[in-house]
Structure 1
Amino acid sequence: MANSPVPRVEIDGRAATAERLLPLTLSNYGHFTAMQVRGGKVRGMDLHLDRLRAATRELFDADLDADRVRDHIRHALGGDGAASVRVYVFRAEPDGAVSVMVVVRPPSEMPSTPQRLRAVPYQRPVPHIKHIGGFGQAYHRRLAERGGFHEALLTGPDGVISEGGITNIGFFDGSAVVWPDAPALLGITMQLLEPRLPGAGLPSRRGTVRLADLTSFTAAFVTNSQGIAPVERVDDLSIPVDAELMKTVTRIYDSVPWDPI
């Protein structure tokens, strides 16, 4: 699997078929989490499971057994120690039990290249859930990439920044990391980093951040399931890459333990 471009897809522990995929394709209703597996382990496994259980209750009024999810991931990995894994939860029948789909691809890492972000006036619906069918963010990310950017930066009224298309973003004001206090998905990497920053001498807080405020920050970085990368530009504004900040943030993230699946 490590060198195969074809993903391995299983639904409820069995190889996916067109018939079993059809309900998800037609309804486009469900949620997921994305993780990197190394040595058969995952950073923040409990956070991934909490995310899946909470969204399953909200979207389907159903419980999701954590051991079931772990079993399906292990089965789909098939012995692969390193992989990119997505776990989807959906319902094949309106009143049926929820199904768990696991997609296994080769492992990936966040590009080390400083990121260029294009601000767009868009916010994800129901942003606290990592739901499927993210047409809006995919559309804006594609337009951003066409314009020579790496990622879209989602904003609301008055240019209030919420998140990236598939990332969270943190801003550094010279003394503390500021995470946008706006409706957004709390990414697992962000959740692992945020509480650990103060212990490393890097204060962290939430606050409203507008596009007009960006000149007051000395650096920025983005996070997602693939890792962390510095930001060097938002639209036409250049943002310095703070090597020491990135070294500290990366060291903190690298110190996060890997949890057995």
Structure 2
Amino acid sequence: MAATTGDPRFPPRYGPSVLRIEIEGEPPTTDRLATGLSANYGHFTALQVRDRRVKGLDLHLSRLDRANRELYGTGLDHDHVRGLIAHALGDDVRDAALRVIAFGVGAPSVMVAVRPPGTPPATPQRLLPVAYARPFPHLKHLGGFGQLHHRALAERAGYDDALLTADGVVVEAATANIGFFDDDGGVVWPEADWLHGITMRLLEGVLPTRREVVRSADVGRYRGAFLTNSIGVVAVSRIADVEFAPADQALARVHAAYDAIPADPVE
């Protein structure tokens, strides 16, 4: 699921040009960018800021800390990262899409990229199942060529996104978690090796949900499906040749639950 920006000059997948980039609170030099990013090694989190608040901010900070310990052997101080986010927003930005990236070989540097805010797609998404598993799927890491290329191929085939599967088992979309509705409107997450997304975590805290193995050949037994990531929640209308009737009431409950989750101040 890719964000939409409302600006026809830029492809929806990439959004408008970056408003601001800082590395450790300073404007980046060409050498610092080239040296750090050329290795394509690191991890990140993506978040939406509204009125200088973020849903699940502590979860984003914890994600960065855990990944940093795994990749670099040391944590990332929550207050330090929070300060970098606030500094990058400055006094003039209240709503934005942010990407916080820890990158580099050896000791990492933290980059904050600020872009205009994104919103979910306006129409339900059509997904093309593909046999592909992200390496180290529990990490939101740099080097996402595989899933993004599968998304591009899905778009060329007339779909909106790729649905990643492993041995015929549904895992996740290219950059989103997928949930299903059972006959009673309950939420079912696939039991698989996926990235435990922040929006998924937030919904698990406010809605009754369960996990089970979902085979791509059996998705038609579910009443409906939806995608979640940092830009929110959007319905799925089709997976391969399986079309879902609108699950309006069930989806409305998910939207209402997500909208009611309070956002945390950046400062």
User: What TM-score range do you get, normalising by the shorter chain?
Assistant: over 0.9
CA distance in 2, matches of 1:138, 1:25: 18
Alignment of 1:18-167 (within 5 A): 18-79=30-91, 80-91=93-104, 94=106, 97-157=107-167, 159-167=168-176
Maintained 8 Å contact 1:38/1:82? yes
Write the deviation string for residues 186-213 of structure 1: whole angstroms up to 9, x where unpaired. Answer: 1111000012112xxxxx1011000111
Q: RMSD of the TM alignment (CA)?
A: 1.2
- SS of structure 2 residue aligned to 1:104: strand
**Alpha-carbon distance between aligned partners in 2 of 1:168 and 1:7, rounded to the nearest angstrom:** 27
Matches within 5 A, 1:96-245: 97-157=107-167, 159-175=168-184, 176-198=186-208, 204-245=209-250
Any gaps of 5 or more consecutive residues in structure 1?
A: 199-203
Q: What is the alpha-carbon distance in structure 2 between the residues aligned to residue 50 and residue 164 of structure 1?
A: 23
Give, in whole Å, the separation in 2 of the partners of 1:57 and 1:151.
31
Distance in structure 1 (CA, Å) of the matches to 2:35 and 2:189: 37
Give the TM-score taking structure 2 as reference length.
0.91
SS of the equivalent of 1:15 reads coil
Which stretches in structure 2 are left out of the alignment for 5+ residues?
1-6, 8-15
Equivalent position amino acid for 2:199 in 1: T
Shift of 1:246: 1.3
CA contact (8 A) 1:117 1:152 kept: yes
| % identical aligned pairs | 51
Once the two structures are superposed, residues 38-93 of structure 1 have per-residue CA deviations (whole angstroms, 9 ceiling, x without a partner) of: 010100001001100000000000121111101110111112100000000013x5
Deviation, 1:236, is 1.5
* AA at the equivalent of 1:169: I
- Could you state the TM-score of these two structures normalised by the residue count of structure 1? 0.93
User: Are the aligned partners of 1:30 and 1:131 in contact in 2 as well (CA < 8 Å)?
Assistant: yes
- Equivalent pairs counted in the alignment come to 250
Contact 2:37 2:103 in 1 (8 A): no
Preserved CA contact (<8 Å) 1:160 1:182: yes
